[in-house]
Amino acid sequence: MRLDELGGRRVALWGFGREGRATLAALTAMADPPTGIAVVTDAPPTEAERAVAATLPWLHGEEGIARLSASDVVVRSPGLSRYRDDALRVAAATRVTTATNLWGAEHAGETVIAVTGSKGKSTTSSLIDHLARAAGMRTVLAGNIGIPLLTHLHPEPLPSLWVLELSSHQISDLDWSPRVGVLLNLYREHLDWHGTEARYFADKLNLFAHRSGIVAVLNREDTRIRALAPALPGRHVWFGDPAGYHTDGSSILWRDERLVDADQLQLRGRHNLLNACAALTTLEEDGVEVRPLVPALSGFRPLRHRLEPVGDAAGVTFVNDSIATIPEATVAALDALEGRPVVLIAGGFDRGQDYGPLARRLHRDRGVLAVVTLPPSGIRLAGELAALPDAPPVLPAADLGEAVRLARAHAEPGSVMLLSPGAPSYGAFRDFEARGDAFRALVADVEPAAPA
């Protein structure tokens, strides 16, 4: 469905975050806009939200569901699970689309690279964009990275390459596929939205389902991807494979050729070296000569909230890895900092993740000085640690402020205070970015005195 097909129709926006606001702007800019637009949210809007669309009707609750069902078209925001009971009722009553699908209908035939995966999407899509620009290409980077697609509906001039970060929420009911799709990894994630692990994986794979000639760039190191790959259409190209771009943890290699050492990059951690391998592989498959671009990797700076150093005091480095919303990401962060003592702050919203592997990584003999836990998932992590020998001290905190104070008291000169929660921020913060910003502010107030 194209945007111009919404002209003269009754349209409801379900959800009014970044994508909802971008959709409203696109609809109201049309030469033939919808005849009636309503905004439906789960809860009553704040004054600030209502002010953005003060002339429109705002509805919520059963009244909102009735308005959605009576609309000609509903544009659902990605934060709203399509598997909710009310979403199933609405889908049975009327046509439901998304901003991602509306954008895709406008850009059929253009060169689009789309990146997904449980972790690493933002870094990898940004690396692709960075390298493409180094090659002199005109690019647009958008999507789940915080730049709604509909804010870049018809830019002038058109880019030669679109680089999109797409979440499982955006892909779940995607009705188009890009020219090149990248799948970085698959971990147990977002079960509150998808319902089951199997459905989450299937929704991720929907990225590849609508283009028989798609180039699928896949991670050879991920056992789940290797198992699911035979079901994917198109041509499969692997990174993390000794036959192509891969890493030994200290360098990026092409087959047996060492291209660049990790200490020449600002990115930290084996997982980020693998993300760079994905970016190089992807651009090469898009016809770009990437070998001359390898030196440009050294100029790429880590994104905010991703192993981001945010301060130093009395020899202690404070690192913000708030993006780590699953335990596997916290393990990767600890591995990236191997060799330096760490005080870890972990825990948050409990999505039922398995904290066993993370607990087994938290050993004193691997430099973990202490673990400060945040509820509610931190309670489960503490329970896992209590059953293990050589576990570090566990310090429960009620909130992030107390966590920073406790962590500071147990840090030593030369150590790292690492916020890498292994859990989402729901209930305490709006999102991982707000949590990371709060950590940065707390760190700025840390006294530069020697730790106790």
The residue among 280, 299, 318 that closes a domain is 299
In-domain check, residue 449:
no
Whether residue 329 is found in the same domain as residue 252: no
3-state class of 34 per DSSP? coil
In a domain, 147, yes or no: yes
Whether 108 and 68 map to the same domain: the answer is no
Alpha helix positions (H), 172-256: 191-194, 197-205, 223-228
Please, is 211 exposed, middle or buried when counting C-beta atoms within 10 Å of its C-beta (0-12, 13-18, 19+)? middle
State the Cα–Cα distance between residues 284 and 282, nearest whole angstrom: 5
CATH assignment of the domain containing 29: 3.40.50.720
Query: Is 124 inside a domain boundary?
Result: yes
Residue 172 sits in the same domain as residue 201: yes
Same domain, 112 and 252: yes
Written as tens digits, the pLDDT of the chain (452 aa) is 999 999 999 999 999 999 999 999 999 999 999 999 999 999 999 898 899 999 999 999 999 999 999 999 999 999 999 999 999 999 999 999 999 999 999 999 999 999 999 999 999 999 999 999 999 999 999 999 999 999 999 999 999 999 999 999 999 999 999 999 999 999 988 989 999 999 999 999 999 999 999 999 999 999 999 999 999 999 999 999 999 999 999 999 999 999 999 999 999 999 999 999 999 999 999 999 999 999 999 999 999 999 999 999 889 999 999 999 999 999 999 999 999 999 999 999 998 899 999 999 999 999 999 999 999 999 999 999 999 998 999 999 999 999 999 999 999 999 999 999 999 999 899 999 999 999 999 998 875 544 43
Q: Examine the domain organization and report whether 90 and 113 are in the same domain.
A: no
Rounded Cα distance between 162 and 422, Å, is: 31
Q: What is the CATH number of the domain that holds 376?
A: 3.90.190.20
Residue indicated by tokens 């198992």 = 227
Query: At 149, which CATH number?
Result: 3.40.1190.10
Q: Which of 116, 115, 124, 78 is nearest to 99 (CA)?
A: 78
Question: Could you tell me if residue 451 is inside a domain?
Answer: no
For residue 452, being part of any structural domain is answered with no
One domain, residues 129 and 214: yes
Q: Could you say which of 97, 116, 142 is where a domain stops?
A: 97
AA identity, residue 49: E
pLDDT at residue 448, rounded to an integer: 54
Rounded Cα–Cα distance for residues 10 and 12 (Å)? 7
User: Is 450 a member of any domain?
Assistant: no
Residues 71 and 147 in one domain: no
Together in a domain, 93 and 240: no
Q: Give residue 452's pLDDT.
A: 38
Q: Which of 265, 281, 299 is the last residue of a domain?
A: 299
Strand 308-313 versus strand 316-320 pairing type:
antiparallel
> 423 and 342, same structural domain?
yes
Cα–Cα distance for residue pair 350/368, rounded to 1 Å: 23
Residues 266 and 313 in one domain: no
Long-range (24+ apart) CB contacts under 8 A made by 334-339 are 334/361, 334/362, 334/366, 334/368, 334/418, 334/420, 335/269, 335/270, 335/271, 335/361, 336/268, 336/269, 336/270, 336/271, 336/272, 336/307, 337/268, 337/269, 337/307, 337/416, 337/418, 338/366, 338/367, 339/367
DSSP strand pairing (251-254 vs 245-247): antiparallel
AA identity, residue 223:
T
pLDDT, residue 447, reads 59
State pTM to two decimals.
Answer: 0.92
106 and 42 in a common domain: no
Q: Are 277 and 294 in contact (CB under 8 A)?
A: no
Tokens of 248: 């030994």
| Domain assignment of residue 175, yes or no | yes
Domain range for 145 is: 102-299
Looking at the structure of the chain, the number of domains it has is 3
Both 291 and 330 in one domain: the answer is: no
